[in-house]
Amino acid sequence: MNPHNIVSALSDLIANNLTVTQQSPIISQERQMAEYLADTVKLMTSGQKVDYVEETTLDFGRYTDDEESEEEEESMLDEKESEEMDEDWKDKELASEKYNLRSFSEEFMRQVIDFVDRAGPGSKHGRSWKAIHHRFQTIPDRSYIPRFRKYLEHHGTKRQKIQDLDSLVYKKLVDARQKNLVVHGLDIQRWGLKIAKEIKLDDFHASHGWLENFKSHHRLTSLKITNFVSHHQVENREVIEKSKQNFILEFNKVSSHFKPSDIFNTDQTGVEKELHSNRTISF
């Protein structure tokens, strides 16, 4: 293939199919894109055969204002559905049943406890039940106050740990993608379990619902990446044969310094680096 013909055809395609604006000074991003395209053309023209390999990754979504509002509505629905699958969310519901608090929201309980704790410097015994019940008439009796407090102490701490876990998992995701490492949903769940153990977040299961909430919260979307691979044919067997003989001579010289048990034939050793999926999670 002739690189000049490829560039000429590309120029025609751009002129005919894209809106070409007036010329402007070349910026660094445009220079980098040109270098990338030049490398791709060079790769395609250097081999006898060129294939392209597609990989699907998760990328941080980019939205217009209208798309963003629609996405938020869909996200709220998805989050509600995923809560039904999320075992961690179910734990919270079971706890409210345990304390007989299903009729009260967490925000309401916090308002009650804040009101009780802000009795003022002149009060030795805190708010009176009469004052509490006058302010919050839906509370049946005074015994609910310690129940509210116990529930909030347990789940307030747990909620903070869940937020910490989300931040730490997200940090690992950012670090991995900056290093161009392939990341899967299972990797995120594995990180979540490991971090949960480190911060002592009990009963965390890294469920499918939690994973979907994580991806929705950080707006991870699917992105397809295409890589070009050039395959060369062996054209000079004499050079290959000479290289083989040189390798054997060098091997015989070096191998005398090692025990036979420390020498491995890579053609007969099951050691390989392989990506088992073409999907990843990314920005």
**Alpha helix stretches (DSSP H) within the chain:** 3-17, 28-46, 65-85, 87-98, 106-117, 129-135, 144-178, 185-198, 208-217, 237-255
pLDDT of 84 > 60? The answer is no
Q: How far apart are CA 268 and CA 28, in angstroms?
A: 48
Identify the top-confidence range among 67-71, 252-256, 271-275.
252-256
Instruction: Give per-residue pLDDT as tens, 98-131.
Output: 556 777 887 888 899 899 888 765 555 678 889 9
Q: Are residues 39 and 150 in the same domain?
A: no
Q: What is the pLDDT of residue 249?
A: 92
Q: What is the pLDDT of residue 165?
A: 93
Q: Are residues 70 and 167 in the same domain?
A: yes
Assigned domain for 27 exists: yes
Q: What is the pLDDT of residue 60?
A: 59
Q: Are residues 79 and 42 in the same domain?
A: no
Q: What's the predicted TM-score (pTM) here?
A: 0.45
Cα end-to-end span (Å), the chain: 35
Q: How far apart are CA 168 and CA 47, in angstroms?
A: 44
Select the more confidently predicted residue: 1 or 190.
190
Q: What is the pLDDT of residue 24?
A: 83
Total number of domains in the chain: 2
Give φ, ψ of 49 to 5 degrees. -140, 135
Q: What is the pLDDT of residue 157?
A: 74
- How many Cα atoms are found within 13 Å in the side-chain-facing hemisphere of 79? 13
Q: What is the pLDDT of residue 246?
A: 92
Q: Give residue 19's domain range.
A: 1-46
Instruction: Give per-residue pLDDT as tens, 198-251.
Output: 988 888 889 999 999 999 899 887 666 666 555 555 556 677 888 889 999 999
**Range 166-171 contact pairs with CB under 8 angstroms and sequence separation of 24 or more:** 166/214, 166/217, 168/195, 168/199, 169/195, 169/214, 170/214, 170/218
Q: Are residues 132 and 10 in the same domain?
A: no
Assigned domain for 187 exists: yes
Q: Are residues 207 and 70 in the same domain?
A: yes
DSSP-derived letter for residue 267 is G
Identify the domain boundary among 173, 207, 224: 224
Q: How far apart are CA 183 and CA 181, in angstroms?
A: 6
Assigned domain for 115 exists: yes
Instruction: Give per-residue pLDDT as tens, 28-68.
Output: 888 888 888 888 787 777 765 666 666 665 555 654 444 44
